[in-house]
Structures are given as C-alpha cells and as structure tokens.
Amino acid sequence: MKYTDLAEKTPAELGAMLKEKKTELFTLKLKQKTMQLQNTSELRTVRKDIARINTALCAAK
C-alpha cells in the first residue's frame, strides 16, 4: 500500500481501513504468541500500513 493510493480516499474510507488493519494486527499478534505465525514480517508491514493511514487521516483534516 502506498501513500498516493490513500491520499485519494475519503476520511470515512480511511477510518474503515484503519479499523480493519488494527484487527488484522491484533490477530497477527495472537498468532505470534501461540507460535502459529509463519511469516513474522507481516507484523511490520501491517504496522507501517497503519502509520500510513494515520498520516493520510491527519493530512485530510
């Protein structure tokens, strides 16, 4: 996901995406704790996506 893709979205769409990514991060963290997560780099990419969405939300205001 790139910031340029996010800049075109409305704040409502960004809020929905943010909620989705946060739940995804939660499930990935649970999988990591129970040793079920195969690819640990997914955590990093989801955290970066959350940061990009938050940046786009702040810029939209």
Residue from 57, 44, 50 nearest 18 by CA: 50
Quick one: pLDDT at residue 1?
83
In this prediction the pTM is 0.91
Mean pLDDT over each residue of the chain, to the nearest integer: 94
Quick one: pLDDT at residue 39?
95
Give the three-class secondary structure for 10.
Answer: coil
Q: Which domains does the chain have, with CATH numbers?
A: 3-60 (1.10.287)
